[in-house]
Structure 1
Amino acid sequence: MRRPPAAAAGASSCRRRAVQGFVALAFLAYALLVLSLGSRGAAHASLPGGKGSASSRPLHLDGDGERGAPARPSKRAHRETLEAAPGIVSGLDLRRLNSSRSGSLRKVAAEAAAAGARVFSELQALAGTLSASSDEEERSKCPHSIVLTGDEFRARGRAVELPCGLTLGSYITVAATPNAAHPERDPKITLLKEGDEPIMVSQFMMELQGLKTVDGEDPPRILHFNPRLRGDWSGKPVIEQNTCYRMQWGTPLRCEGWMSRADEETVDGMAKCEKWIQDEGSKESMTSWWLNRLIGRTKKVSVDWPYPFVEDRLFVLTLTAGLEGYHVNVDGRHVTSFPYRIGFVLEDATGLSLNGNLDVQSVFAGTLPTTHPSFAPQKHLEMLPVWQAPPLPDGPVEIFVGILSAGNHFAERMAVRKTWMSAAQKSSNVVARFFVALNGRKEVNMELKKEAEFFGDIVIVPFMDSYDLVVLKTVAICEYGVRISARYIMKCDDDTFVRLESVMAEVKRIPSSKSLYIGNMNYRHYPLRNGKWAVTYEEWPEEDYPTYANGPGYVISSDIADSIVSEFTNHKLRLFKMEDVSMGMWVERFNKTRPVEYVHSVKFCQFGCIDDYYTAHYQSPRQMLCLWDKLQAGRPRCCNMR
């Protein structure tokens, strides 16, 4: 029997409503299921050591697995600046420096952090607006010759800028007059007892200098030429030559009046030291002369003209850049030649200074290079994908290496990337990053930001760089290591060459359940209270330092780093301007609550390099490449001394 039309329409409407209701319920159930799974996954991901950490990225370095890495914190940026430049800015909150616990560094650190925040904000705003200078502009900064009168030279602070350095055949001619000797009481030159007459001193220093790195650190001295007319401890006129890199002097070359030995190497066929005539009338032998000096019987030694510098007498000195070294002629006569030392090239010599007891009449520099020197970032940085850092691993890593660097150390960072860091980047268990503060020059910061964004291996700690605040970078290294769940954290410098496998082998000697502090330890060292590196009682009231490892390379366990970051966050961390001493102080404090295994090894070399090293310090970019070549050949041997 057929339904009436009205009834059929009502039934059809009911069926449609029923179907729509079922579809709505099904959609709602599906949405609830998705939300449930998502929340469950989020809760799982927040658990310490959950899946997606160690299980998804196994450790390749040997380990017993007894000690788990700390929980990997959220990758969400917890600073406003991180949102502007994700991945290249340190997560360390420098606003926490405003604490009395920060000690004597509190004020200067807070000011540097505030200035750094302003500079970084400006850097973000200027992104892409600064363009590199054209070749013509760069060439205009590099004249072929420079001429200065004495007054012009003094007006420039007794220094001459050589924008493009030197090249083969470049020369510098100085006309000057040594001043008469004056009484000297400086304890750095002589120690006088009460009632002693001051010694008479006449000396001057001519230096070829490189670029300054950070505030508080002296620029490298590529050539230090120091005639001492009245002598020094020897009591005879002498010329001393040397180099100084990262405030560490090399082995001096002293010319004391005797001709270089016949079997000694020459420089472009010239002797390192020429002879100047002593008093020919004296029949005293050299042995007797030294014996009399030792027992206190001094005798005035007269020197004839051949010693090239005489008080109150004009001289004309010419310094020439040869193939194998620098040559010094005075009044047309060759006096000395100084061989180039590994780590410095001619174009690194971007400044000339003349200081001491000297009245300069004129300075002339000729045959100078007119093209821009290779310290320009674009000539040091090889913008190739092969040198880019891989993404951070999803799980914990065995060791994190934090490398202290300065903004304008483009060459140093590139050398590290191309040598030992390249091996570290290939391991899924190792992460290495440079930690850099902001430079006073805007163009350096612009290039630094570009470098950081391309290579992905730079962490900018946004404060204005200075020598006394390096400790902030060390805290930032600890924060980063804890944040990526590293089991061990190593700190080194950008002029440190690291044999990472050997370092890890040393670390593995200690049971993983123990807290450790490994490096070249210093025991019962005392702060200097006088001189250039003086430490005031306000800065360090104690009479001695805690046991600490030298700064160029040391390793701590992650629990120590976590304690350091926690105390910094809670305004309890004491800061000291010497970062390695600071670390020793923090470890000592941690050691009071949990025993720390201190491990000393001289193979974490502080001054240069020793064979079979773990770390080699003060290595120039060229020495880095040399060490890498030797290590690849299976020979962990040092390259030539600087």
Structure 2
Amino acid sequence: MRRSCGLHYFCWPCACVAAWFLCCVMIKLDQSPIDGQGAKGVQILSTLWNRKENASLPNTSTPPGPLENFECPENDTLMGVPTNIPLLHQEFLRYKHCRRFRTLLTPTSCEDDLYLLLAIKSTALHIDRRAALRDTWGRAGLVNGRSVKLIFLMGHSDENMDRYALQPLLEWENRQFGDILQWDFKDSFFNLTLKEVSFLSWFGRSCHWAQFVLKGDDDVFVHTENVIEYLNEHSPNEHLFVGDILPRSYPIRDSDVKYFIPAEMYPNGKPYPPYAGGGGYLMSRKTVVGLDAAAAGVDLFPIDDVYVGMCLQRMGVQPHAHTGFRTFGFHNIMAHFNPCAYRNLMLVHKLRPVEMWVMWALVQDSGLACSQGAH
């Protein structure tokens, strides 16, 4: 008879309490919302935006030095960029045609029999997150007999000093693990869409034989065995796009909010197309290749998740919601530290590195017994 989780089995509860304590120590306030107005806006502009400084060049197998800059000129045919919107949004409109940037670092080649590609958005400073993923659910190799590969999608640091200090470290990481795909643009919120289209283009050239792709952030927990089990019921040659879907959301008009979009960039009264919460989603090869083709005809949009929804709409592909994706976390905060709550899920957002290690060890424990109500 299977036993239920209880306080008399104190192994994982103790570990969860330890994780809770560590996380409480690590918790910090989020950064202030983006504000593109005035002198502060100019400062933000100089640190987050560099499409003017970087190249719109074809990718080459032997690119020039990784810290050289090239020019992508302003679109001088664009008339009447509104001056009453934040500076970042003005700059986005002037330079959104800049899509092609040099590749600075490339991962090892995709294997011919690659089943699942884990494509994870990261930044240069998130060294601890990458280490946690490589050591837990992102381990490359075979999962349930299926080939799995992990890559990190990156720009470069938004500060020149950090950039020169961190680039050698990223090069070392890539020599050690062969899992970094980096382009020559700054890692910033408004450049996440650039990261999206750059990945789609790379996939079409260099990894289009991978059967499925999981896109996610570097603070998600993925139950890879559950993902593989789910994918075994689907064909890579049919459209598949699943995640935590927002079927009908509207632009945020509050300029103090990070996801603010002015009416000049998206009309009033019109909902966004259905899209997946950006913590993570799952796609078939056919859908990824289709997104690459569709993106060529869709203007870049500041919010990358919404942009993917726009491309899906252009393709005529409907994204599907799946309860196994918790990109907004758990409603019950204690479930966040309960390994039994992860047993039937595919993806949970968001976990810190220490939580990732603890939870992975607990979920992998073959002796863990869970009651039906623990999920």
Q: In structure 1, which of residues 552, 561, 564 is the aligned counterpart of residue 291 of structure 2?
A: 564
Contact 2:74 2:95 in 1 (8 A): no
Per-residue deviation at 1:625?
Answer: 0.1
Mean alpha-carbon deviation: is it higher for 619-628 or for 549-558? 549-558
SS at match of 2:243: strand
Q: Offset of 1:473 from its aligned partner? A: 1.5
How far the C-alpha of 1:110 sits from its partner, in A, is: 6.2
Report the CA distance between 1:97 and its aligned residue.
11
Secondary structure of 2:121's partner?
Answer: strand
Q: Which amino acid aligns with 1:578?
A: I
CA spacing shift, 1:480–1:457, aligned 2, 3 Å: same
Q: Using a 3 Å threshold, how does the CA distance of structure 1 residues 96 and 461 change in structure 2: closer, same or farther?
A: farther
Q: Structure 2 matches for 1:615-626, cutoff 5 A?
A: 615-626=347-358
What is the aligned counterpart of 1:436 among 145, 154, 163?
A: 154
Contact 1:490 1:556 in 2 (8 A): yes
Matched, 1:552 2:279: yes
Between Structure 1 and Structure 2, which shows a larger proportion of strand residues? 1
Where do 1:582-621 residues align within 5 Å? 582-591=307-316, 596=317, 598-609=319-330, 611=341, 612-621=344-353
> Residues 273 and 313 of structure 2 are in contact (CA less than 8 Å); yes or no, is this contact kept in structure 1?
yes
Kindly tell me: are residues 478 and 80 of structure 1, through their superposed partners in 2, closer, same or farther at Cα, counting changes over 3 Å? Answer: closer
Task: Check whether the contact 1:479–1:561 (CA below 8 A) recurs between aligned residues.
Answer: no
**In 2, distance between residues paired with 1:499 and 1:623?**
14
Residue 575 of structure 1: which of 297, 300, 310 is its match? 300
Q: Distance in 2 between matches of 1:522 and 1:401?
A: 22
Tell me the equivalent position of 2:265.
Answer: 539
Identify which of 497, 501, 507 aligns with 2:231: 507
Please say if residues 524 and 545 of structure 1, whose CA atoms lie closer than 8 Å, have aligned partners that are also in contact: yes
Which structure would you say has the larger Rg?
A: 1
Deviations 1:521-578 (A, max 9, x none): 111111111142221122222621111111111012222222332344xx42322121
Mapped partners of 2:73, 2:210: distance in 1: 24
- Say whether 1:416 aligns with 2:133: yes
Alignment of 1:153-232 (within 5 A): none
Equivalent residue letter for 2:171: K
Deviations 1:340-383, CA, capped at 9 Å, x for gaps:
xxxxxxxxxxxxxxxxxxxxxxxxxxxxxxxxxxxxxxxxxxxx
User: Is contact 1:424–1:432 with CA below 8 Å preserved after alignment?
Assistant: no
Counterparts of 2:74 and 2:95 in 1: how far apart (Å)?
10
- CA distance in structure 2 between the partners assigned to 1:546 and 1:423 by the alignment: 34
Query: 1:399-423 CA distances to partner (integer Å, 9 max, x unpaired)?
Result: 2111000111001100100000115
1:627 maps onto 2:359 in alignment? yes
1:223 is matched with none
Contact 1:546–1:585 (8 Å) recurs in 2: yes
The aligned amino acid for 1:586 is: C
Say whether 1:522 aligns with 2:246.
Answer: yes
Instruction: Name the one with the larger helix percent.
Output: 2
TM-score by length of 2: 0.64
Equivalences for residues 37-186 of structure 1 within 5 A: 79=58, 81-84=60-63, 105-109=92-96
Work out whether residues 411 and 621 of structure 1, in 8 Å CA contact, stay in contact via their aligned partners in 2: yes
Q: 1:517 to 1:95 in 2, by over 3 A?
A: farther
Match for 1:515: what amino acid?
A: H
CA displacement at 1:96 relative to structure 2? 12
The SS at the match of 1:421 is coil
The answer (yes or no) to whether the contact 1:507–1:518 under 8 Å persists in 2 is: no
Equivalent residue for 2:195, pick from 462, 470, 473? 473
> What secondary structure, in the 3-state scheme, does the structure 2 residue paired with 1:555 have?
strand
1:493 aligns with 2:210: no
Offset, 1:627: 1.3
| Amino acid paired to 2:301 | F
C-alpha separation in 1, matches of 2:349 and 2:187: 21
Kindly indicate whether the alpha-carbon contact (under 8 Å) linking 1:493 and 1:552 is maintained by their aligned counterparts in 2: yes
Please give the alpha-carbon distance, in whole angstroms, between the structure 2 residues aligned to 1:636 and 1:527: 44
Contact 2:140/2:149 (<8 A) preserved:
no
Identity of aligned residues (%): 24
Instruction: Say whether the 8 Å CA contact 1:432–1:457 is kept in structure 2.
Output: yes
Secondary structure at 1:537 match in 2: coil
2:121 counterpart of 1:404: yes
Q: Which blocks of at least 5 consecutive residues in structure 2 are unaligned?
A: 1-56, 79-88, 336-340, 371-375
Using the TM superposition, give the Cα deviation of residue 619 of structure 1 relative to its aligned residue in structure 2, in angstroms: 0.6
Q: Which residue identity lines up with residue 432 of structure 1 in the other structure?
A: L
Distance 1:459 1:512, change over 3 A: closer
Q: 1:392 and 1:408 mapped to 2: Cα distance? A: 25
8 A contact 2:118–2:138 mirrored in 1: no
Aligned residue for 2:325, secondary structure, equals: coil
Query: Once the two structures are superposed, what CA deviation does each residue of 1:136-165 show, in whole Å capped at 9, x if it has no partner?
Result: xxxxxxxxxxxxxxxxxxxxxxxxxxxxxx
SS of equivalent residue, structure 1 residue 420: coil
**Which residue identity does 1:82 align to in structure 2?**
S
Count of equivalent residues: 276
Q: Which amino acid aligns with 1:625?
A: W
In structure 2, relative to structure 1, the CA distance for the partners of 1:511 and 1:456 (3 Å cut) is: closer
Normalised by the length of structure 1, the TM-score is 0.39
Q: How does 1:235-246 map to 2 (within 5 A)?
A: none
SS at match of 1:575: coil
Tell me the alpha carbon deviations over residues 86-140 of structure 1, each in whole angstroms, 9 at most, x when there is no partner.
Answer: 9x9xxxxx9799797xx973534567x79x86x96xxx9xxxxxxxxxxxxxxxx
Secondary structure, counterpart of 2:320 in structure 1: strand
Amino acid at match of 2:172: K
**Which residue pairs with 1:281 in the alignment?**
none
Alignment of 1:217-296 (within 5 A): none
Deviations 1:419-474, CA, capped at 9 Å, x for gaps: 00115567662222001111022212232222223221000021011111111222
- Please, which of 152, 161, 185 is the counterpart of residue 463 of structure 1? 185
Specify the SS of the correspondent of 2:360: helix
